[in-house]
């Protein structure tokens, strides 16, 4: 009876539980109804319901869906084979694409509106409309509107060109931003492991995660080893989170701190937590670079000087006008519309002087030059993530570079193997035959077991049946060696279950795995692989040729160490492989291993590296190799590529970090190679180079642990192929081809940016000085300004936008890399620049001053009358413009006499110079009504161009005047190439 009651209660409880589950399920279906399209495609869970599971870390909901396996069934995917390729489009349509909503880009009309907000242009526009009103009232239609309409049309031209320039730059930066976001992930599809773009990942994809990866979407942990995720970008928590089957919720946008795993994607794009965060963020622009900040200060000073000259010019013109008015019939009591028009014109001239004086082209030139350099560097396989990095790279005095993949090709192959007491060359069939004959089948089985199971990479078979290895170059080399051993020995490795994995990282310099070994009757067996010295120090025995372990005596250990050194001296990377049977335990042992083999891996030097290092030395840039490899390997490679010299020092990381600050101060300048280094050693070296020696340091890195050094350096350079996403995010520049020669191109373009801005500043200040002085002096002595409002606006266009376009986009030349690097504290406007500015200004002021006061008699224009005045003013305007055109050519090189060298290396400069001259002809000959110009005879055109071309002769003469750069920087700097300033007062 009692048993029946118990069964009845249990049955009732089960019914109640079932009813509760059905109720909950019905509630969920009501809350997240399944769309008809999803049902037709074979899916049984909606996108919203699936997204909330991970986003809310809802373990209860996950249990309701029967765990990861149940979710996989509901999204119709196999955890072993992954998504089918022909389903990707359908999944994207049902569950969404892995793309985030971005703020709409700024349109051309927005830039046009910004350009119209310039206060001085608005003042001029107001003056123009008042001028039209007064002109129509006094002179009638249509002559009364010509002056005002000319100003309006010129303002529109300035605004249109400014907006077009800004819009074009925004398009370039948008393209570069798109490049920054390109990430490839490894996924399993159609049963094969392959790489796909992060944007092509869909719900149901099986994604493989490893150290340094960014989690591409929200998902669930399937399986893996020691997975640790950094969620600080989402939660703000600094402590990494350990993931497992019990804690399976992986959020997109987080970073893999350690370990490896497979995840099932459950939400993509805007349904992820990261997507929601991205939607709330506004689209930020680039911060101003140090050089832009510096030049903004220069522009402010010049603008204030221009304001003073504008006020003085207006005051002088008004004073002369009032004096003349007082002596006229009727005196100051009789006013006409023409008088108001004159006063308005004086005010407009003053405002225009401010427009010309304020050098808006300075920040424009920096942005234009940087945008141009970034675009060209993209073509040369370097992605600049931060604008300031491009200009800062021009001042780099030291490069701390990795060895593997940067100086070498990163295409590795096992060249030699030390096994059973002897070294064998295994790069040929004969070498494999000798290896096979020197060891037993038992030895080969243990070797293959270690090679294939103690690896973070994977042997995969493609759809066409070809076998390949997917993973890091080092492990790829070892696995390919294992495949060759299987081919030659006919011994194959057996599959085994992995019980525990400790992935490789650059601090431990080893990886370990515990497997249920078929060769050990299914008992756990641990394998250890990594840096030769580290693994050897943890071994107590060595495997002989028969496959038996024998004690590793001190004499045998020395012989193994000698073999390692011999491999290293041949520039081979060395790794050791060892094993240990661990009985019933599954933990990774600390020591007591049996050494199996030592691998010597060949990684050839990249073509062009020697020449690139020599270029660095010629440019005064010290190159230091910082690597985790054996010191003998590092020294051999460093000598081969020219980094290590006879008087240089090669040191190991442990020895370096044991030094005191005083010892480091003595040692660091001599260090050329640091081997067996930890990421902390690289960070310490960079910090001391910057702090103790005030060096501008560029650092290369590819691993997650390189992030602190990349962040600390003046310029962080991440590797695009071998680099992790964490390294790339902390870098300023991504070297897309991992090539050291590309780094030199970044330095060359950085120097080019700096010198181009110096050229432009020299050109612009000359125009400023001459334009201000000509109008002020003429107003003071003659009572009128020879350059009208429209003419001054045209000069402003030549000086700012067109000048920036011509000079800021000059490509670099090899001579730039034969100069010392720029430093941190010297003046931006150098003595060489002052010499050129003052010399050119004096020449132009002298020529124009003679024309203002003696032009009519020298040019035989007659002694008076409106016609001769108009011809003289047109001639002065024309001469002034051609002085700037020829001085623009002269500004191409601040030191060399031959300024035409390489002038056609870029089409932009000759096109801008030619267009300026052509527009000048049109303005003078065809737009006289609006520009206040008259027709000039051939004789006057020739005379005008001859005076203008005198700027070239003057420039050539100035370059023979020696300039002492002593106070501007170190005594070995020359050629006017000066350091980037750091303070706002370094003018």
* 103 compared with 607, residue with greater pLDDT: 607
Question: So what's the pLDDT on residue 984?
Answer: 34
Which of 602, 622, 643 terminates a domain? The answer is 602
Lowest mean pLDDT among 106-110, 811-815, 965-969: 965-969
* 816 and 733 together in one domain: no
Contact 696, 398 (CB under 8 A): yes
| Distance separating alpha carbons of residues 583 and 337, to the nearest angstrom | 109
- Displacement of CA 530 from its chain's centroid (Å): 33
* 618 and 583 together in one domain: no
Q: Give me the CATH number covering residue 550.
A: 3.40.1110.10
In a domain, 748, yes or no: no
* 687 and 785 together in one domain: no
In the predicted structure, residue 298 carries a pLDDT above the cut 50? yes
| SS3 category, 406 | coil
Q: Is the peptide bond before 517 cis (omega within 30 degrees of 0)?
A: no
Range list of H helices, 358-386: 361-379
* 692 and 621 together in one domain: yes
* 826 and 939 together in one domain: yes
In a domain, 696, yes or no: yes
Express the helix, strand and coil content of the chain in percent, nearest 5 each: 55, 15, 30
Question: So what's the pLDDT on residue 133?
Answer: 64
In the predicted structure, residue 644 carries a pLDDT above the cut 80? yes
* 830 and 852 together in one domain: yes
pLDDT tens for residues 541-557? 999 989 899 999 999 99
Question: So what's the pLDDT on residue 874?
Answer: 92
In the predicted structure, residue 827 carries a pLDDT above the cut 60? yes
In a domain, 969, yes or no: no
Name the pLDDT band for 263 (thresholds 50, 70, 90).
Answer: very high
* 227 and 125 together in one domain: no
- Bridge pairing between strands 498-502 and 510-516: antiparallel
* 893 compared with 987, residue with greater pLDDT: 893
| SS3 category, 582 | coil
Contact 92, 84 (CB under 8 A): no
Query: What is the signed CA dihedral for 533, 535, 541, 544, rounded to 10 degrees?
Result: -90
In the predicted structure, residue 950 carries a pLDDT above the cut 90? yes
Question: So what's the pLDDT on residue 203?
Answer: 92
Question: So what's the pLDDT on residue 322?
Answer: 81
| Distance separating alpha carbons of residues 708 and 678, to the nearest angstrom | 12
- Displacement of CA 470 from its chain's centroid (Å): 27
Contact 798, 355 (CB under 8 A): no
Which of 738, 770, 800 terminates a domain? The answer is 738
Residue reference for tokens 């107003």: 779
pLDDT tens for residues 354-393? 777 766 667 777 777 887 888 888 888 888 887 778 878 8
Lowest mean pLDDT among 601-615, 861-875, 878-892, 967-981: 967-981
| SS3 category, 673 | strand
In the predicted structure, residue 23 carries a pLDDT above the cut 50? no
In a domain, 578, yes or no: yes
Contact 627, 404 (CB under 8 A): yes
Going from the C-alpha of 695 to that of each of 393, 400, 687, 690, 816, the distances in angstroms are 12, 12, 10, 5, 19
Q: What is the DSSP letter of 705?
A: G
* 366 and 401 together in one domain: no
* 115 and 90 together in one domain: no
Lowest mean pLDDT among 19-23, 685-689, 798-802: 19-23
Question: So what's the pLDDT on residue 2?
Answer: 42
In the predicted structure, residue 10 carries a pLDDT above the cut 60? no
Question: So what's the pLDDT on residue 624?
Answer: 94
* 520 and 648 together in one domain: no
| Distance separating alpha carbons of residues 158 and 121, to the nearest angstrom | 9
**Nearest one of 131, 458, 293 to 986, comparing CA atoms:** 293
Q: Tell me what the mean pLDDT of segment 797-819 comes to.
A: 83
Task: Please give the backbone phi and psi of residue 100, each rounded to the nearest 5 degrees, phi first.
Answer: -100, 150
Q: What is the pTM of this model?
A: 0.76
Name every residue whose Cβ is closer than 8 Å to that of residue 568 and which is 6 or more positions away in sequence: 574, 629, 630, 631, 632, 633, 636
Is 402 among the catalytic positions?
yes
Domain interval for residue 626: 382-408+606-738
In a domain, 651, yes or no: yes
Question: So what's the pLDDT on residue 150?
Answer: 64
In a domain, 914, yes or no: yes
* 689 compared with 385, residue with greater pLDDT: 689
| Helix/strand/coil (H/E/C) assignment for every residue in 521-558 | CCCEEEEEEEEHHHHHHCEEEEECCCCCEEECCHHHHH
Q: What is the DSSP letter of 82?
A: B
Active-site annotation holder among 147, 166, 402, 706 = 402
| Distance separating alpha carbons of residues 344 and 118, to the nearest angstrom | 20
Contact 468, 460 (CB under 8 A): yes
Name the pLDDT band for 577 (thresholds 50, 70, 90).
Answer: very high
Q: Is the peptide bond before 249 cis (omega within 30 degrees of 0)?
A: no
Name every residue whose Cβ is closer than 8 Å to that of residue 409 and which is 6 or more positions away in sequence: 603, 604, 605, 606
Name the pLDDT band for 905 (thresholds 50, 70, 90).
Answer: confident
Q: What is the DSSP letter of 247?
A: S
In a domain, 796, yes or no: yes
Lowest mean pLDDT among 278-287, 673-682, 927-936: 278-287
Count structural domains, the chain.
5
In the predicted structure, residue 283 carries a pLDDT above the cut 80? no
**Nearest one of 560, 570, 561 to 633, comparing CA atoms:** 570
pLDDT tens for residues 37-87? 888 888 888 888 888 888 888 888 888 888 999 999 999 999 989 999 999
Q: Tell me what the mean pLDDT of segment 504-520 comes to.
A: 82
Which of 246, 279, 312 terminates a domain? The answer is 279
In a domain, 744, yes or no: no
Question: C-alpha angle 898/839/350, rounded to 5°?
Answer: 120
* 155 and 248 together in one domain: no
* 399 and 423 together in one domain: no
* 349 compared with 213, residue with greater pLDDT: 213
Q: How far apart are the first and last CA of the chain?
A: 102
Q: What is the DSSP letter of 802?
A: I
Question: So what's the pLDDT on residue 295?
Answer: 73
| Distance separating alpha carbons of residues 752 and 762, to the nearest angstrom | 15
- What is the share, in percent, of the chain residues with pLDDT greater than 70? 83
In the predicted structure, residue 972 carries a pLDDT above the cut 50? no
Average pLDDT in the chain: 82
Per-residue buried b or exposed e for 1-33, using 16+ beta carbons within 10 Å of the residue's own CB: eeeeeeeeeeeeeeeeeeeeeeeeeeebeeebe
Name the pLDDT band for 290 (thresholds 50, 70, 90).
Answer: low
pLDDT tens for residues 412-435? 899 999 998 889 898 888 888 888
Lowest mean pLDDT among 21-30, 102-111, 862-871: 21-30
């Amino acid at each position: 009876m009692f048993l029946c009651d118990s069964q009845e209660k249990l049955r009732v409880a089960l019914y109640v539980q079932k009813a509760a589950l059905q109720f909950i399920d019905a509630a969920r279906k009501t809350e997240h109804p399944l769309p008809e399209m999803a049902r037709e495609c074979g899916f049984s869970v909606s996108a919203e319901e699936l997204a909330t599971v991970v986003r809310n870390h809802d373990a209860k909901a996950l249990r309701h869906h029967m765990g990861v396996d149940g979710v996989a069934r509901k999204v119709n995917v196999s955890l072993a084979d992954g998504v089918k390729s022909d389903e990707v489009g359908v999944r994207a349509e049902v569950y969404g694409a892995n793309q985030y909503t971005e703020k709409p880009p700024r349109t051309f009309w927005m830039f046009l509106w910004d350009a119209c907000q310039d206060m001085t242009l608005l003042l001029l526009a107001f003056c123009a409309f008042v001028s039209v009103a007064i002109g129509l009232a006094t002179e009638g239609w249509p002559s009364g509107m010509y002056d005002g309409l000319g100003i309006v049309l010129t303002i529109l031209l300035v605004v249109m060109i400014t907006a077009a320039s800004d819009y074009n730059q925004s398009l370039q930066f948008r393209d570069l931003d798109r490049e920054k976001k390109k990430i490839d992930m490894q996924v399993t599809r159609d049963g094969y492991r392959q790489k796909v773009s992060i944007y092509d990942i869909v719900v149901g994809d099986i994604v493989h995660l490893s150290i340094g990866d960014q989690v591409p979407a929200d998902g669930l942990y399937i399986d893996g080893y020691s997975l640790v995720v950094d969620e600080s970008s989402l939660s703000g928590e600094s402590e990494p989170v350990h993931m497992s089957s019990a804690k399976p919720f992986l959020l997109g946008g987080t970073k893999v701190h350690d370990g490896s795993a497979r995840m099932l994607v459950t939400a993509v794009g805007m349904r992820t937590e990261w997507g929601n965060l991205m939607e709330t963020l506004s689209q930020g622009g680039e911060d101003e670079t140090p050089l832009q900040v510096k030049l903004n200060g220069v522009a402010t000073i010049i603008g204030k000087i221009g304001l003073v000259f504008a006020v003085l010019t207006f005051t002088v013109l008004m004073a002369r006008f009032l004096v003349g008015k007082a002596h006229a019939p009727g005196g100051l009591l009789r006013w006409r519309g023409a008088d108001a028009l004159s006063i308005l014109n004086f005010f407009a001239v003053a405002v225009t002087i401010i427009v010309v004086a304020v050098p808006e082209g300075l920040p424009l030139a920096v942005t234009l030059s940087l945008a141009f350099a970034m675009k060209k560097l993209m073509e040369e396989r370097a992605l600049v993530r931060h604008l300031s990095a491009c200009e800062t790279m021009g001042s780099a005095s030291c490069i701390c570079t990795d060895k593997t993949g940067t100086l070498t090709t990163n295409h590795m192959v096992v060249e030699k193997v030390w096994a059973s007491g002897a070294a064998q060359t295994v790069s040929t069939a004969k070498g494999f035959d000798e290896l096979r004959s020197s060891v037993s089948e038992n030895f080969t089985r243990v070797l293959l077991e270690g090679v294939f199971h103690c690896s973070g990479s994977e042997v995969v078979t493609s759809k066409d049946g070809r076998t390949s290895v997917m993973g890091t170059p080092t492990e790829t080399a070892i696995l390919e060696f294992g495949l060759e051993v299987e081919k030659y020995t006919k011994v194959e490795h057996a599959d085994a279950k992995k019980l525990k994995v400790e992935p490789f990282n650059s601090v431990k310099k080893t990886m370990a795995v515990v497997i249920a070994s078929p060769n050990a009757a299914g008992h756990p067996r641990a394998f250890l692989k990594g840096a030769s010295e580290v693994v050897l120090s943890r071994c107590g025995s060595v495997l002989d040729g028969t496959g038996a372990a024998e004690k590793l005596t001190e004499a045998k250990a020395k012989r193994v160490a000698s073999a390692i050194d011999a491999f290293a001296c041949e520039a081979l990377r060395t790794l050791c492989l060892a094993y240990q049977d661990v009985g019933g335990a599954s933990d990774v042992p600390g020591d007591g291993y049996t050494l199996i083999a030592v691998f010597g891996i060949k990684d050839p030097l990249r073509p062009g590296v020697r020449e690139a290092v020599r270029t660095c030395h010629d440019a005064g840039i010290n190159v230091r190799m910082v690597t985790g490899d054996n010191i003998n390997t590092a020294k051999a490679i460093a000598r081969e590529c020219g980094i290590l010299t006879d008087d240089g020092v090669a040191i190991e990381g442990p020895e370096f970090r044991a030094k005191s600050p005083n010892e480091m101060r003595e040692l660091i300048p001599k260090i050329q190679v640091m081997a067996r280094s930890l990421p902390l050693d690289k960070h310490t070296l960079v910090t001391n180079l910057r702090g103790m020696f005030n060096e501008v340091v560029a650092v290369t890195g590819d691993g997650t642990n390189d992030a602190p050094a990349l962040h600390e350096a003046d310029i962080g350079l991440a590797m695009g192929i071998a680099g992790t996403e964490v390294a790339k995010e902390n870098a300023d520049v991504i070297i897309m081809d991992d090539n050291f020669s590309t780094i030199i191109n970044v330095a060359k373009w950085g120097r080019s940016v700096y010198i181009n801005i110096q050229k432009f500043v020299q050109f612009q200040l000359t125009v400023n000085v001459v334009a201000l002085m000509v109008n002020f002096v003429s107003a003071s002595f003659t009572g009128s300004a020879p350059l009208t409002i429209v003419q001054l606006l045209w000069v402003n266009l030549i000086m700012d936008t067109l000048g920036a376009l011509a000079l800021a986009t000059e490509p670099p030349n090899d001579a730039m890399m034969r100069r010392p690097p720029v430093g941190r504290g010297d003046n931006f406007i150098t003595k060489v620049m002052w010499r050129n500015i003052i010399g050119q200004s004096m020449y132009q002021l002298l020529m124009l001053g003679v024309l203002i006061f003696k032009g009519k008699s020298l040019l035989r224009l007659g002694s008076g009358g409106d016609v001769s005045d108009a011809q003289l003013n047109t001639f002065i305007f024309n001469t002034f413009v051609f002085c700037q055109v020829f001085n623009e050519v002269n500004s191409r090189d601040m030191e060399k006499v031959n300024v035409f060298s390489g002038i056609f290396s870029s089409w932009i400069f000759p096109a801008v110079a030619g267009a300026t001259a052509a527009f000048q002809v049109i303005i003078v000959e065809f737009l006289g009504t609006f520009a206040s110009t008259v027709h000039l005879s051939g004789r006057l055109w020739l005379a005008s161009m001859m005076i203008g071309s005198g700027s070239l002769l003057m420039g050539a003469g100035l370059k023979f005047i020696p300039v002492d750069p002593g106070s501007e920087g170190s005594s070995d700097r020359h050629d006017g190439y000066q350091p980037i300033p750091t303070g706002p007062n370094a003018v």
